[in-house]
Structure 1
Amino acid sequence: MSEEVSEHPPLSGGQDSAPRSRLGRVRTLLVALTVAAAGLAAVTPAQATDDTPGVVSRAAVVDVPGAKGGTAAQRERALLDHWTPERVRRATGEKKAAAPTVDRDDPRLAAAGPHSTAVGKLVFEHAGGKPDHCTATAVDSDSEILVLTAAHCLHEGPGGTWTKNVVFIPAREGGSDPFGRFGAWNVATSALWSSGAEPDWEHDCGLVVTNDNAQGETVLDAAGGYRIVPDARTGEEVSVMGCSGPPYDGEHQEFCQDLIEPTVPPMNMWQVECPNMTPGSSGSPWLLDYDYDTGSGCIGGLNSISDTRGYLASPRFDAKTGEFVAMVERIAAARP
């Protein structure tokens, strides 16, 4: 991979001067294209306060047959066995419509997109047992066991509950799990997400502290990862990869590139236009300084909310994001 140092300083402590990633290729993507005016309209979650920085976290809930009363290794095995191919499919949802038509003239969407091994499918269940999925990304951090996703994939927000039975499957492609599966040991969101009267989409950022895969590898060693950086800028190009659900199958990474612009006040977020990022792409990384040939880049945002015209919004990663990542790194250091 490239040894160029990104102009973006890291928020998380990476081990190398350049981001760690591995890259493969997938087939030409089938994508939607819409033409819309600038500005994010009324928004909805892509899936489903106090101004003091902090973390709300808890031990990941494993609520599956065979897990209760077992050792940590037995609980992990029961969790991974719980996610059968059929259950993973149901987490994506039923395909209710035909895939949208590709616009071959749109340079953001029409080309064959890259496939990052560090990006993958995050499957989980809501408190009542309904399976669901988001997208997540392995983080290049000192602990080697952090995975970034949207906070709303882990916690419903103020007054809500945590999701359970969380498993990350990096580089999932057409039902294959080339780097294994990584069960959650701990889940965390920014305290700014879960406090207040309503969800704070400007702080819709979550991290999963993962267990190792069946081969004993950390998620970073197995799949590669990207550093988290602050200070994305208006007009900067961002590359987005996500496991979009219906009308897509959630088993492939959709790809989009667009230029960052600010959302309309009073919302203070970043936005891009990516109509192929449907429910299930929540948590998808916004990669800055992305290099097609080497797969290098760094994470400057993530899919949080969207509107009906294909616009996506991301929290603005800043110093508070860095404090959040550093706090979860300390939690990760306690994992056996």
Structure 2
Amino acid sequence: MSEDHSSARTRTGPRRRTRLRTLLASLAVVASGLVVGSPAQASASGELGVVSRAAVIDVPGAEGGTAAQKQQALLDYWTPERVRRATGEVKGGAKEASIGVRTDPRITAVVDGPYSTAVGKLVFEHANGKPDHCTATAVNSDSEFLVLTAAHCLHEGPGGTWTKNVVFIPARHDGDEPFGRFTAWNVATSSLWSSGTKPDWEHDYGLVITNDNAEGQTVVEAVGGYQIVPDARTGEKVSVMGYSGPPYDGEHQEFCEDLIEPTVPPVNMWQVECANMTPGSSGSPWLLDYDYTTGSGYIGGLNSISDTQGFMASPRFDARTGGFVALVEQMAAGRP
């Protein structure tokens, strides 16, 4: 990717730190409406560690149509107003960023602070029709089809069902969609997320295999992408960008920068302090070695769950995560 970025927010003076609460009951899902429904219908393989299914399109005009007609019906369904409503009500107005202004030559709107074209808003509906949104990121892979997000944005966990009508809108800003939209062809999570008796937040990651946009571009052709790496370390700086919902408006990328810390056992995750990462920022990438001049970096984690003190936790990406990505990449090779 080649982007022009403003300087990062600087931290002044020491800051008192606390740790993410260890009680899972205190952890809040960062998507705005996780609902557990009927058992998922999926193709699962414990050996492979992947659970996947063809993306569900359940909108007016899609039934009985060709694949292209169904995709168009889905794009038409997500009107600008419906995309905004997926964020939920913003009470008292959205908070404004305070870290300078920059303008990407490919984006007509003025953008506040660090901003990545590979990061976008992921809109979808739960099985009961409730609209919702998360954040997702284009992945630098051979297929150029993959988009990374939190697993709970795609599948509601053990005993739950898949979300539907999934569309990725990269670099969306105040209604502007400079790179178009990418519908989902297939969705996948780790089998460790969807199995068991309760959500396994330590494996809360998933991938969307996307279709091309209206211009016939793959998602990576259009916006670039980041490689996923398994080597985040305690004390390493990460840059987080996400489409936070209330009290934010879900139409802009909020930014946070902090140093990685481990969570307290028995929760084996990473954590950062990012109070502006609110519901809707699930799936926001944790970018390592992020360069504000070129926009380059690596994905070392993502927003999963948070506590009431402003701390955000991420799964620890490891060799198993890499194997999951490789398997989904193999699946992507079958996309028409």
Normalized against structure 1, the TM-score is what? Answer: 0.86
CA 1:247–1:319: 2 relative to 1, 3 Å? same
CA 1:122–1:307: 2 relative to 1, 3 Å? same
Aligned letter for 2:68? A
Aligned letter for 2:260? I
Match for residue 39 of structure 1 among 19, 24, 33: 19
Q: Is 1:79 matched with 2:74?
A: yes
Aligned letter for 1:242? G
Q: Is 1:64 matched with 2:59?
A: yes
Match of 1:94 in 2: 89
**Distance in 2 of aligned mates of 1:123 and 1:101:** 22
Residue deviations 1:1-44 (CA, integer Å, cap 9, x gap): xxxxxxxxxxxxxxxxxxxx243558999xxxxx7642112211
Residue deviations 1:123-145 (CA, integer Å, cap 9, x gap): 00000111100000000000000
Match of 2:153 in 1: 153
Decide whether the 8 Å contact of 1:202 with 1:314 is kept in 2: yes
State the secondary structure of the residue aligned to 1:116: coil
Query: CA-atom RMSD, angstroms?
Result: 2.2
Mapping 1:1-336, distance limit 5 Å: 21-23=1-3, 37-41=17-21, 42-47=26-31, 48=33, 54-99=49-94, 113-336=113-336
Segments of 5+ residues of structure 1 without an aligned counterpart are 1-20, 30-34, 105-111
Decide whether the 8 Å contact of 1:23 with 1:114 is kept in 2: no
CA 1:87–1:22: 2 relative to 1, 3 Å? farther
Deviates more, 1:67-76 or 1:52-61: 52-61
CA 1:70–1:294: 2 relative to 1, 3 Å? same
Aligned letter for 2:79? T
Decide whether the 8 Å contact of 1:22 with 1:223 is kept in 2: no
Residue deviations 1:77-121 (CA, integer Å, cap 9, x gap): 0000000011001100000245568888xxxxxxx5211000000
CA 1:232–1:173: 2 relative to 1, 3 Å? same
Q: Where do 4+ consecutive residues of structure 1 move more than 6 Å?
A: 26-29, 101-104
**Distance in 1 of aligned mates of 2:148 and 2:60:** 27
Aligned letter for 2:317? F
Decide whether the 8 Å contact of 1:169 with 1:177 is kept in 2: yes
Percent identical pairs in the alignment equals 75
Normalized against structure 2, the TM-score is what? Answer: 0.86
Report the CA distance between 1:163 and its aligned residue.
Answer: 0.3
**Distance in 1 of aligned mates of 2:208 and 2:309:** 30
CA 1:101–1:261: 2 relative to 1, 3 Å? same
Aligned letter for 1:23? E
CA 1:102–1:68: 2 relative to 1, 3 Å? closer
Aligned letter for 1:87? R
Segments of 5+ residues of structure 2 without an aligned counterpart are 10-14, 34-44, 100-111
**Distance in 1 of aligned mates of 2:68 and 2:209:** 16
CA 1:214–1:316: 2 relative to 1, 3 Å? same
Aligned residues: 304
Decide whether the 8 Å contact of 2:239 with 2:255 is kept in 1: yes
CA 1:334–1:91: 2 relative to 1, 3 Å? same
CA 1:101–1:166: 2 relative to 1, 3 Å? closer
**Distance in 1 of aligned mates of 2:201 and 2:2:** 30
State the secondary structure of the residue aligned to 1:63: coil
**Distance in 1 of aligned mates of 2:49 and 2:82:** 34
Deviates more, 1:168-177 or 1:89-98: 89-98
Deviates more, 1:112-121 or 1:202-211: 112-121
**Distance in 2 of aligned mates of 1:103 and 1:214:** 35
Decide whether the 8 Å contact of 1:22 with 1:118 is kept in 2: no
